[in-house]
Structure 1
């Protein structure tokens, strides 16, 4: 999502681009593919704008999600994470480490052919899907002595 699109969505929602909102939006734009929790966003924006409190971060993330600028994703660990909303839905999957909580994207859409079969066999047009793989990342495997 380009910054012009973000500004347009804010205007459509009758919201202005406050300095706090701008810092948070820029953070996501500068970290594509990262899935950041509110606490992680807060820690990263405090480096640039130390006056931003955690409550402001939570409110801003909620607003940006409502306006469709960010997408909230739940990986089942009790912490919502956010990423910039993609123009095309469901074009990547997530790899979730069950030990450290790290989330990586897997860029190839593995379910395109399955969606085609579902349409052909059942007449059901899939508009979106979500696929998460749970396991151990490389670092956690090394730490546990797995190869």
Structure 2
């Protein structure tokens, strides 16, 4: 398996994007962690390699290249996650105690039904919907076990 650095370089190359160290650092973290990350988590995990202002600029660049997706948690915290060829449309479960975010995929029948409802809403509300997400809230197993 290629190193994190090489995987990150390959992603940037696939989009004809300039390779900068901050871009590589963010991509490496997202590949290594394999989960959605908040800005604070990225800054902490980067161990001083990124300034916050640089991180926001890099996020904008990587989003524009189509390499990452960003979304906002119910607490209004920005979260980023890696897009990949293997990534499928998915949704999230948010733990209301610790703030963890888990990716979930709906079965195809439910996803198709949801897309059908979105199409109806689009028609009846005269709006062009570009995407949808289903957010589930609860308490993760770790928090449940801690009581």
Length-normalised TM-score, structure 1: 0.73
For 2:67 and 2:119, the matched residues in 1 are separated by 33
| Aligned residue number for residue 85 of structure 1 | 83
3-state DSSP class of the match of 1:52? Answer: coil
Runs of 4+ in structure 1 deviating by more than 6 angstroms, as ranges, are 119-122
| Aligned residue number for residue 30 of structure 2 | 28
For 2:30 and 2:103, the matched residues in 1 are separated by 15
Is the Cα–Cα contact under 8 Å of residues 12 and 19 in structure 2 kept in the other structure? no
| Aligned residue number for residue 142 of structure 1 | 145
Residue correspondences, number: 135
Which residues in structure 2 correspond to 1:109-128 (within 5 Å)?
109=107, 111-115=110-114, 118=117, 128=131
Deviation at 1:120, TM superposition (A): 10
5+ residue gaps, structure 2, are 1-6, 124-128
Is the Cα–Cα contact under 8 Å of residues 65 and 72 in structure 1 kept in the other structure? yes
For 2:49 and 2:114, the matched residues in 1 are separated by 47
| Aligned residue number for residue 38 of structure 1 | 39
Deviation at 1:25, TM superposition (A): 1.0
Closer/same/farther in 2, CA of residues 55 and 78 from structure 1, 3 Å limit: same
5+ residue gaps, structure 1, are none
Are residues 1:7 and 2:10 paired?
no
For 1:40 and 1:8, the matched residues in 2 are separated by 26
Closer/same/farther in 2, CA of residues 109 and 89 from structure 1, 3 Å limit: farther
